[in-house]
Amino acid sequence: MKILVTGGAGFIGSHVVDAYVGAGHQIVVVDNLTTGRRERVNPAAQLYAIDIRSPELRDVFERERPEVVNHHAAQASVTASVADPRVDAEINVMGTLHLLTLCAQSRVRRFVFASTGGAIYGNPQRIPADEQHPTTPLSPYGIHKLVGEHYVRYFGSTGMTWAILRYANVYGPRQDPFGEAGVVAIFTRAMLDGKAPTIFGDGKQTRDFVYVEDVARANLLATDATTSDLANIGTGVETSVNDIARHLASLTGFRGEPLRVAPRLGEVYRIALDASKAKRWLSWGPQTSLMDGLRKTAEWFQSTR
Ligand SMILES: NC(=O)c1ccc[n+]([C@@H]2O[C@H](COP(=O)([O-])OP(=O)(O)OC[C@H]3O[C@@H](n4cnc5c(N)ncnc54)[C@H](O)[C@@H]3O)[C@@H](O)[C@H]2O)c1
């Protein structure tokens, strides 16, 4: 099957492309390489280094005629969205709308959308949060991802089936260790360099860490499914930032103490996602334990030094 993956040169998108190629699909990647990297794109895939907002995207649809579109391209930084909500809206709302319009015009059969749990639910009223949880985004990024979801549903009424996957905190090889998010990548890189990682606040804040290959598998299953639906992709388990630091210190041999600074504003304190719907709908569940995932991530960062 021919599948167009936007953001296929990015952290998660490149793993999704690898999974698709492994399953025998023919892959076209659209990525403007802002945070993505050309060398991450599977050599079996065809890369178009263009912006999802550009007029050239129409030419790609006309030339490639994809059956399925998997949308991972995004401005994915919460901090950047707070600093410049307009740019976030241009990419995450108008870019998504442009893509969906072309999908409808070229009769794409199915659309898979990478969305977010934590940024959409806001401070959770119950943990783990399920898909029925109220949506009260705390950032422009969360607002725009939610708008993207509504547009996906709207375009679904034009004949295309869809899957929306709301990810927890995804971690694993290829994650950017120099960004403001991605605590596993940032801590691993710092510890391997013998530098103290910085913990914001008391470190007791929790996240739901899901391994990137499990997320890629969820995309395969969501592509093969025929119904239109939405599901959280997480583990349901809360892990504190202090625990992540402790596990990574033992995996990397780091003996120092983390640097502790004031908490960051606008971040949720605790979150975990209930993924029982993904189990019912897609027969998906996480297969990589936190310790295995952290070990694989640390080995990958070690091998790319
Ligand atoms: N990392 C997480 O924990 C997480 C959690 C929830 C949702 N998500 C979502 O998953 C997707 C992938 O995130 P990621 O962590 O891999 O981030 P990433 O920054 O590594 O990937 C985004 C990719 O999109 C590309 N891109 C950005 N703007 C573009 C544009 N205008 N046109 C074309 N390409 C563009 C970038 O170059 C990059 O390759 C995003 O949609 C993000 O919102 C990620």
Can you point out the beta strands (E) in 75-147? 110-116
Compute the chain's Rg from CA coordinates.
Answer: 19
Banded model confidence at residue 268, pLDDT cuts 50, 70, 90? confident
User: Which residue's alpha carbon is at the smallest distance from atom 42 of ligand 1?
Assistant: 76
With a 6 A CB cut-off, is 170 part of the ligand 1 pocket?
yes
Average pLDDT over residues 184-213: 96
Tracing tokens 């996906």 back to the chain, one arrives at 152
CA of 10 to the centre of ligand 1 (A): 6
**pLDDT score recorded for residue 238:** 97
Q: How far apart are CA 301 and CA 141, in angstroms?
A: 28
Q: How far apart are CA 71 and CA 167, in angstroms?
A: 13
Average pLDDT over residues 192-211: 96
Q: Is the pLDDT of residue 181 over 90?
A: no
pLDDT tens digits along 72-87: 999 999 989 999 999 9
Q: How far apart are CA 182 and CA 36, in angstroms?
A: 15
With a 6 A CB cut-off, is 68 part of the ligand 1 pocket?
no
Mean model confidence pLDDT for the chain: 96
Q: How far apart are CA 275 and CA 167, in angstroms?
A: 10
**pLDDT score recorded for residue 189:** 97
Contact 139, 123 (CB under 8 A): no
Q: How far apart are CA 234 and CA 272, in angstroms?
A: 7
Q: Is the pLDDT of residue 150 over 70?
A: yes
Cis, peptide link before residue 85, omega less than 30° from 0: no
Nearest-atom number in ligand 1 for the CA of 10 is 39
Q: How far apart are CA 136 and CA 13, in angstroms?
A: 26
CA of 254 to the centre of ligand 1 (A): 30
What pTM was estimated for this model as a whole? 0.98
With a 6 A CB cut-off, is 9 part of the ligand 1 pocket?
yes
Banded model confidence at residue 266, pLDDT cuts 50, 70, 90? low
Banded model confidence at residue 59, pLDDT cuts 50, 70, 90? very high
**pLDDT score recorded for residue 184:** 98
Query: Taking CA 67 as the corner, what is the angle to CA 63 and CA 71, rounded to the nearest 5 degrees?
Result: 90
With a 6 A CB cut-off, is 72 part of the ligand 1 pocket?
yes
With a 6 A CB cut-off, is 273 part of the ligand 1 pocket?
no
With a 6 A CB cut-off, is 233 part of the ligand 1 pocket?
no
Q: Is the pLDDT of residue 267 over 80?
A: no
pLDDT tens digits along 98-126: 999 999 999 999 999 999 999 999 999 99
**pLDDT score recorded for residue 196:** 96
User: Which residue's alpha carbon is at the smallest distance from atom 7 of ligand 1?
Assistant: 116
Cis, peptide link before residue 128, omega less than 30° from 0: yes
**pLDDT score recorded for residue 230:** 98
Q: How far apart are CA 33 and CA 49, in angstroms?
A: 7
Name all domains of the chain by residue range, CATH numbers in brackets: 2-171+209-235+273-286 (3.40.50.720), 183-206+238-272+291-303 (3.90.25.10)
Banded model confidence at residue 179, pLDDT cuts 50, 70, 90? confident
Tell me which residue of 264, 301, 36 sits closest to 190, measured CA to CA: 301
Tracing tokens 């410049």 back to the chain, one arrives at 84
CA of 7 to the centre of ligand 1 (A): 6
Q: How far apart are CA 205 and CA 223, in angstroms?
A: 34
Beta bridge partners, 275, equal none
Residue 91 in tokens: 């990419």
Catalytic residues: 141
Residue 35 in tokens: 């945070």
Q: Is the pLDDT of residue 180 over 90?
A: no
Measure the N-to-C terminal CA separation of the chain; round to a whole number of Å: 36
CA of 149 to the centre of ligand 1 (A): 15
